[in-house]
Amino acid sequence: MNLCILKVLKSTHIAHKNDKITQNLKGYFILSSLRNFVLICIIYQQYTVCVYINKNMNLKKVCNMFCGVGDNDKYTDVAMLLLRVVVASAFIYHGWSKVSAMDGVVPMFASMGVGTVMTYIASYVEFLGGIALLIGSATRLVGGLLAIFMVVAIYLVHLDRGYNMMNGGYEYQLLLLAGVIFFALVGPGKYSVSSKICNKN
């Protein structure tokens, strides 16, 4: 690798006379420009963290490594898979808890003004939609349906209780809403059933 970040070590660095040293809060920032690379060290109390950057390294690659700017396709697909699994698992878990106990769910929804038919539809959309999201099938459609489900859930159950989930607020539901909107907009990513089918065709 052109860039190597050293682990935190006890400070034994002695600055060269040509190094630029500036006081930074309670530590020091040292920039040492050598023949083939730039050495950046931050010294704080008894610790030193150093970063070596090859002078021939493309600025775009540096920005990509530190800031996530640039070509991130490989990591994006992995991140989308992890996010999809986590979000889908939540819907599957809570959906199954409803469809497996409809005798108790129907009266609970009825107390909020939701009819029996809509209760069944909502419960099975949550459960089956979670499965579809997990495997990455019809993700845009499923994401849209689950987004509607979460908006209704927030409005009927959680909105009056505020943001904090510890008080029954919509904090957790808002995160799930953001997750399904994401997949409704961008699709499931490379590691999905839809991707496999489309690539074959």
Mean pLDDT of the chain: 78
Of residues 199 and 180, more confidently modeled: 180
* Residue showing tokens 């970040």: 5
61 has pLDDT over 80: no
Check: CB of residue 126 under 8 Å from CB of residue 95. Answer: yes
Please write the tens of the pLDDT for every residue from 69-126.
555 567 888 999 999 999 999 999 999 999 999 999 999 999 988 899 999 999 999 9
The predicted model scores a pTM of 0.67
- Cα(201)–Cα(197) distance, rounded to whole angstroms? 6
* Both tokens assigned to 48: 């030193």
- Cα(124)–Cα(199) distance, rounded to whole angstroms? 30
Amino acid at 6: L
Question: Buried b vs exposed e over 155-165: b needs ≥16 C-beta within 10 Å?
Answer: eebbeeeeeee
What's the pLDDT band for 144 if we cut at 50, 70, 90? very high
The structural domains of the chain, with segments of one domain joined by +, span: 3-67, 73-200
Comparing CA positions, the residue from 117, 118, 126 lying closest to residue 96 is: 126
Please write the tens of the pLDDT for every residue from 21-35.
444 444 444 444 455
Q: What residues form DSSP beta bridges with 28?
A: 23, 43
